[in-house]
Amino acid sequence: MAELRPIAPAFVVPGPSGVAVRDRLKRLAPADDEVLRLVGAHLGALASADLKTRCADGLEHSTGTWAARKRELTAHSSARWAGAITKASHDQWALARRGQDDHIRDLQAAIAMITCRLSLPVGKKGTRKEPGGYRSAREWFAKSRRLHLLQDRLQRRRADQQAGRVRVVRGGKRLARARHHLEAAGLTEAEWRQSWEAERWFLAADGESGKRYGNETIRITPDGRVSIKLPVPLAHHANAPHGRYVLACRVAFAHRRNEWADRIEANRAVAYRIHLDAARDRWYITASWQILAAPAVPMPTALAHGVIGVDTNADHLAAWRLDVHGNPIGNPRRFCYDLFGNAEHRDAQVRHALTRLLHWARACGVNAIAIEDLDFQAEKTREKHGRRKRFRRLISGMPTSRLRARLTSMADQSGIAIIAADPAYTSKWGAQHWQKPLTTKTRTTTRHDAAAVAIGRRAQGHPIRRRTAPPPAHQSDEQGHRTIQAGPDARGREGPRPRIPGPRTRSVPPGHGANAGDQNAQHRSERSAEHMHLVLSP
């Protein structure tokens, strides 16, 4: 058996630390739509210029340069708008910096993999732990060229990292590239321009505790009336005192409305973001705030009523309920989703599948759901699985991070604990120990269903195999059955074993079977029968 990697212990996933709810701005007046577009375009231009300045500062950024940028923006907007814009620029630069570090690590891993495989003979087979050589000389030559390409790219990225340079596209790189492929994106030039401008607008304001309703820039009253503090150049559009513009519509957050109302009535910080969905021509507003993470539920408490093991796949979730002893109860369940389409469709599919899973868990009375702690970042690289494109697409399509974040957030409101288990060997051992025993004439158990049982048992602390070895006092070796057998060189080892009084099986009545192991007695009985037959014959 190959050496197994150590199995990490299961743990309870901590709850979310923030909340975000969204509502649509319905029945906007034409003047409201015009003002929102003007404010978003004006602040978006300021945000683009500030982000450019922040990226130019690089590692030379300091509190002095931050204050200078904020004073310059204040003259064209307001102090609070300037604070929101500079903070967004800092967050964007930091995000790009982290992405740059991840890209460098991926390049280093790819270069190491190609270098290792190029050093091996062409056609050498790989093992489970070490890769093999390339299949042909043609592939070896192509990979040698790619190695030089990746090395040059790594050198440029390291130079950017040392200089503090990052590359950011306000509006998104994917949408920017779609401008050159409008037919493939299914957009006209006018539609693309509208989407591009809408993504580059800026209508977001962080909350501030102690201020009226938790936000002075974008304010929402308890009755749902929305008002915006206009920038100085657009103050002539105000329809309320103090340079504010009140929208004609009202909002009512259906999800977590009571929590939101409690916060704004207590004047606690709430951040708002207004954005336009250009494809639907609809305005939305998102409210977000921080919450204290709930204390983690102790593992024995979470597993007091059993657990539901969930196996994550590219198109469905395979789930099975287990009792406190790790035995499957009932039939497996499957929650399907479709991850083809845009991001909103995929997110809705994941939410719908998780909602059905949580409803089933509440109906079963289970307080914990066990999932795999999956991370395919190292498995998606083309250098490790270059020819296995189908496998790469399969693991790339699994919504591991999105599903875990969604499940943790949704389960927090349901009172259900999420337990993350190590995914090592769950599919293999589940199919080995559970797929065949759980298959009946009326139920076909798949490999994914068996993996769900293995995940649940690992979360409970049970071994994946169905039965463990009995204690030494009950093993046959200690009771004198196998270890005291005659060796292959012992004389007379083919003889019968010493007879043990009593029946040998349940089907033998007491007092019978005395000559079961005595071959001579059986031969004597056969000879006596033949003798009686000869005597009685005429």
Quote the pLDDT of residue 384: 58
Residue 489's pLDDT band (cuts 50, 70, 90): low
Compute φ and ψ for 289, nearest 5 degrees: -155, 160
Compute φ and ψ for 245, nearest 5 degrees: -120, 125
Beta-bridge partners for 282: 277
More confident call, 528 vs 119: 119
The DSSP annotation for 445-467 comes to --HHHHHHHHHHHHHHT--SSS-
pLDDT in tens, 433-478: 999 989 988 899 999 999 999 999 999 999 988 765 555 665 555 5
Q: What is the helix (H) or strand (E) element at residue 421, kind and residue range?
A: strand 417-421
Residue 490's pLDDT band (cuts 50, 70, 90): low
Residue 340's pLDDT band (cuts 50, 70, 90): confident
pLDDT in tens, 492-520: 555 555 566 665 555 545 555 455 445 45
SS3 state at 132? coil
Strand order in the sheet with 244-250: 218-220, 225-229, 244-250
pLDDT in tens, 403-419: 777 788 788 878 888 89
Give, as one character, the DSSP assignment of residue 214. G
Quote the pLDDT of residue 135: 86
The mean predicted confidence, pLDDT, of the chain is: 83
Q: How many CB atoms lie within 10 A of CB 441?
A: 5
The DSSP annotation for 159-208 comes to HHHHHT-----TT-HHHHHHTT-HHHHT--HHHHHHHHHHHH---EE---
pLDDT at 158 over 90: yes
- Interstrand relation of 271-277 and 282-290 (parallel, antiparallel or unpaired): antiparallel
Q: Which of 147, 459, 187, 432 is nearest to 320 (CA)?
A: 459
CA distance 275 to 252: 17
Place of tokens 């007091």: 304
Q: Which of 22-31, 307-316, 443-452, 474-483 has the lowest mean pLDDT?
A: 474-483
From residue 427, how far is each of 114, 312, 452, 515 by CA, in Å? 29, 11, 8, 51
Q: What is the helix (H) or strand (E) element at residue 261, kind and residue range?
A: helix 257-265
Helix axes 63-74, 30-57, angle to 10 degrees: 150
End-to-end CA distance of the chain: 71
Quote the pLDDT of residue 376: 45
CA distance 307 to 322: 5
Per-residue burial over 323-334, b if 16 or more Cβ lie within 10 Å, else e, is: eeebebeeebbb
Quote the pLDDT of residue 529: 43
Give, as one character, the DSSP assignment of residue 229. E
Q: What is the helix (H) or strand (E) element at residue 153, kind and residue range?
A: helix 137-163
pLDDT in tens, 70-121: 999 999 999 999 999 999 999 999 999 999 999 999 899 889 989 988 999 9
pLDDT at 395 over 90: no
Number of alpha carbons in the 13 Å side-chain half-sphere of residue 9:
4
Total residues belonging to the chain: 538
Place of tokens 């693309």: 192
Residue 394's pLDDT band (cuts 50, 70, 90): low
3-state secondary structure 330-395: EEEEEEECCCCCCHHHHHHHHHHHHHHHHHHHHHHCCCEEEEECCCCCCCCCCCCCCCCHHHHHHH
Q: Which of 373, 367, 455, 372 is nearest to 417 (CA)?
A: 367
